[in-house]
Amino acid sequence: MMDQNGARELLQAVADGRTSVEQALLKFRQAPFEDMGFAKPDYHRALRQGMGEVIYGAGKTTEQIRQIAGAMLARGQRPVLITRMDAAAAVEVEKTLPLRYDALSRIGVIGDMPEPDGAGVITVVTGGTSDMPVAEEAALTAEAFGNRVERIYDVGVAGLHRLLGHTDAIMTARAVIAVAGMEGALASVVGGLAGCPVIAVPTSVGYGASFGGLSALLAMLNSCAVGVSVVNIDNGFGAACIASMINHI
């Protein structure tokens, strides 16, 4: 594989007359679609989007998490975010790294949270208290990406006055993350109040015909309110990424 140095050397060889134009052209042609050092590594792209690197903890061993986190710290990454991390893994990682672990969202953070540098506020709204783990995954992720976050929890649509008491926070947000399980109606009601994009996160909260979040997912996809788009069930992290993008435009 020809990396950036290889490309430079090849061009130098052309400049020096050591390689003919046609030979150089052939070598470039033989590398179609290949990573010639030009392609930005993923973390470059992530940073360009205003988002630091994140370790998806689910399915990783404690040792794997520790190694990846160590490498990221060595590269200067601050903070290091670890999502979907078991409490047991957190206990282990804390032994050697300055991890702060949030049991509710199952997020671990190493290093200080950044100062908010987004243009506005991201408002995270939940239908019930059971949706809070997903909401906190969104909120902490958004904060780690440099966003100011306002939390409005347990304002399900069956008790509208609770939600309506927070109309201002919804109307003035730069982006709203609406987190709800069961019937997922929160997304539509919030979408009707908000003037900004609403990222809806269905949760697997519920039982019976909630079918692990499918009901909330379908309801949110069918929202009659404009401005509502949907991410995967329980995907608080993904919603925060989008909201952060919008807040950093």
Q: List binders of its own copies among 140-159 (CB under 8 A).
A: 156-159
Figure out which of the listed residues 83, 123, 126, 235 binds its own copies, where binding follows CB under 8 A.
Answer: 235
Task: Work out how close the CB of 96 gets to its own copies at its nearest, in angstroms, rounded to a whole number.
Answer: 22
Phi, psi of 230 (to 5 degrees): -130, 145
Does 95 help bind its own copies (rule: CB under 8 A)? Answer: no
Instruction: Find the part of the chain contacting its own copies (CB under 8 A) among 34-42, 73-81, 88-96, 104-112.
Output: 34-42
Does 228 help bind its own copies (rule: CB under 8 A)? Answer: yes
d(CA 170, CA 163): 9
Does 32 help bind its own copies (rule: CB under 8 A)? Answer: yes
Task: Work out how close the CB of 17 gets to its own copies at its nearest, in angstroms, rounded to a whole number.
Answer: 7
Of residues 162-201, which lie at the interface with its own copies (CB under 8 A)? 162, 164-165, 167-168, 174, 181-185, 187-189, 191-193, 195-197, 199
Instruction: Find the part of the chain contacting its own copies (CB under 8 A) among 71-79, 88-96, 107-115, 211-219.
Output: 211-219
Does 63 help bind its own copies (rule: CB under 8 A)? Answer: no
